[in-house]
Structure 1
Amino acid sequence: MKLLLVVVLLVSMHANSQQVYSKKEPFAHTYSIVARDTVTGEMGVAVQSHWFSVGSLVAWGKAGVGVVATQSFINPSFGPRGLSLLENGLTPKLAVETLLKLDEGRDVRQLAILDVHGNVSAYTGKNCIEAAGHIVGNNFSVQANLMEKNTVWPAMEKAYKNATGSLAERMLIAMEAAQSEGGDIRGKQSVAILVVKAKSTGNSWEDKVVDLRVEDSENPLKEMRRLLTIHKAYEFMNKGDLAVEHNNFKLAKEHYKNAQKLNPDNLEMKYWYAVTLANNGEMKEAKSIFKKVFKQNKNWKELIPRLVKSKLLLVSKKQLKRILKL
């Protein structure tokens, strides 16, 4: 049955191949990395380019299946079709070969595909604008074209292999190394990071671990680092909210505190931390934080009675009055 599905898919690809290569195609001359975390099994793509919204066409991924980076003169169909080929049993090597065989624009394409097992294959067309090339490593591949110099992707490889932290963090480090080495000869404009889970939950909205984009910026990698830090902070917030749902206010306090460390100027994070302190009976510290938050934005005070009504703020009537007088 899988073989039949693959055959049908290939026929469909061939029928549409004439529509893919044209002068109207987007050209994301860029550098990217596809990688798999050998501990968590998460798979990701990170990409940066001097082109608007590079992530919308270059980076593709599906939990439990794999990830794809299609760039240079982009063939956007390589994303969904590459994933479909993996899902139907092809290796990344065979998927790359199949996609390119049916594509008249193969000489100007750059493509990397990685599967859920960490197998990876990459391709750089002979007419990709120099400096262009790729390196396939263990559970990752780095690729680049239209670079200032041919040391960009080797710098990415070295940085990634020496990096620590989450998969998204390590991929970002590789991207920063590329930029430090010269990056895209035209400059920089947009960046994207996509990370998917090793196994699908069956709910697509739960399968993406990270899905961040900077569509247009003078310094997209700096902005991406800021966003990734905020993303980590909100992960702690989400964990805190989950702990509150289970009435574990002590654990919630810890998560909210960690979130504030990463994003100290965020009023909402301070507010929910104060709510948790109040629920833990630590009213003195809670009121001190509430007072500072209310001073900056009175709407947070308006929310207090609503939280009491929803049983998210567990205080007595006397304590409620004191909070509202702050």
Structure 2
Amino acid sequence: MIPHFTHLFSTYSIVARDSQTGQLGVAVQTHQMGVGRVVPWLLPGVGAIATQAWTNISFGPLGLAMLREGVAAPKVVQALVASDAGAHNRQFAVVDAKGAVGAWTGKNTIAQAGHHIGDGYSAQANMMSSATVVDAMARAFENASGDLAARMMAALQAAQREGGDIRGMQSAALKVVSGNLNDPSWSSLFDLRVDEHAAPLTELARLLRLRRAENMDNKGLDLLKQGQLDRALEVWAEARALAPELEELPFWQAVALSDEPADIQTAREILQPALNKDPRRDHWLDLLNRLQDCGIIQRPGAVEELVERMMNDE
């Protein structure tokens, strides 16, 4: 008896470790809704797993548990295959915190199917339009520049250029965690999901851009806390330029600056252009008062001074 189609995550994916940062990641696309809840499994400082085809979801948590005990990725793959009577219908890949990789494509996996293990990564696919998908993913990942998320995104895009899933596109996901074993299990650098979309890779790339801007904004805040104001302002400007549609960026940057009297004009210069054409401008200004009322903005009169400068410069 065949499984219900919602258990058939025939797809293309990549698992990888960045040798410079230790970051671990999984990226995936399929013609099935909600791929991000099934295929990718990751833990900071432990490893990353993609489980797909006639999907055995338990390979995710079971594999991570073995990795956490120090079992190397190839041995994890061997153990999971040996434990599963349906292994010939499965496809999955594992990368551990040291960059060792293992992968399996069962003999009954729907064609076109296969995997490619490279240095610190594995690309795998099944039910593809073309047998060229996996090799295209590998080349794109190896030749791409940027961080781990950008290179995995390049691999997905390369797969789609080769025809991708024979059924088309529906959902996608990309997740990256740190290589630090001490980071909380729930923490991530990127955790992006497009559960249902006509062009999920385009949407995933958009979300990646927005999240990257948010990460840059957080870096700027850290610099501000370290007393590096000029560098913080540079990073914040880069974040705003990367995602100009995110009102949250200039708003919270202005909030962070408003507690220092010497920085209030800079706060105005950041916030005012963002709110000038915003139909919810009055709501944002009201929120500033609420932040002062609850103590997030601590300097007495900071909001009044900021708003007055904004009004005077209109």
Q: Which one of the candidate residues 172, 180, 203 is aligned to 1:223? A: 203
* Alpha-carbon contact 1:67-1:83 (below 8 Å) kept: yes
Tell me the CA shift for residue 277 of structure 1.
6.8
Show the counterpart of 1:259: 239
SS of 2:38's partner is helix
- After superposition, give the CA deviation of every residue in 1:169-211 in whole Å (9 maximum; x if it has no partner): 10000000000011001000111111111122242343x2211
Instruction: State how many pairs are aligned.
Output: 305
SS of 2:189's partner is strand
- After superposition, give the CA deviation of every residue in 1:252-271 in whole Å (9 maximum; x if it has no partner): 32232111111112223233
Q: Distance in 2 between matches of 1:140 and 1:312?
A: 50
Pair 1:97-2:78 in alignment: yes
Q: Distance in 2 between matches of 1:55 and 1:161?
A: 24
SS of 2:218's partner is helix
Tell me the CA shift for residue 247 of structure 1.
5.6
- After superposition, give the CA deviation of every residue in 1:25-61 in whole Å (9 maximum; x if it has no partner): 7110000111110100111111110011112111101
Q: Distance in 2 between matches of 1:65 and 1:285?
A: 41
Higher mean C-alpha displacement, 231-240 vs 128-137: 231-240
Pair 1:321-2:308 in alignment: yes
Show the counterpart of 2:222: 242
Higher mean C-alpha displacement, 159-168 vs 90-99: 90-99
The TM-score, its normalising length taken from structure 1, stands at 0.85
SS of 1:33's partner is strand
Pair 1:142-2:123 in alignment: yes
- After superposition, give the CA deviation of every residue in 1:121-172 in whole Å (9 maximum; x if it has no partner): 1111111111001111111111100000100000001101101101011000
Show the counterpart of 1:7: none
* Alpha-carbon contact 1:50-1:186 (below 8 Å) kept: yes
CA 1:69–1:270: 2 relative to 1, 3 Å:
same
The TM-score, its normalising length taken from structure 2, stands at 0.88
Which ranges in structure 1 are unaligned for 5 or more consecutive residues? 1-20
Pair 1:203-2:190 in alignment: no
Q: Distance in 1 between matches of 2:266 and 2:181?
A: 45
Letter in 2 for 1:124: T
* Alpha-carbon contact 2:250-2:270 (below 8 Å) kept: no
Higher mean C-alpha displacement, 171-180 vs 208-217: 208-217
Q: Distance in 2 between matches of 1:41 and 1:104?
A: 34
Tell me the CA shift for residue 288 of structure 1.
8.0
Show the counterpart of 2:272: 290
Letter in 2 for 1:143: Q
Q: Which one of the candidate residues 52, 62, 68 is aligned to 1:87? A: 68
Show the counterpart of 1:118: 99
SS of 1:64's partner is coil
CA 1:219–1:82: 2 relative to 1, 3 Å:
same
Q: Distance in 2 between matches of 1:136 and 1:197?
A: 21
* Alpha-carbon contact 2:10-2:53 (below 8 Å) kept: yes
Which ranges in structure 2 are unaligned for 5 or more consecutive residues? none
Show the counterpart of 2:9: 28
* Alpha-carbon contact 1:27-1:73 (below 8 Å) kept: yes
* Alpha-carbon contact 1:253-1:276 (below 8 Å) kept: no
State the Cα RMSD in Å. 2.6
Q: Distance in 2 between matches of 1:102 and 1:120?
A: 19
Show the counterpart of 1:171: 152
Q: Distance in 2 between matches of 1:86 and 1:318?
A: 55
SS of 1:79's partner is helix
Q: Distance in 1 between matches of 2:162 and 2:154?
A: 12
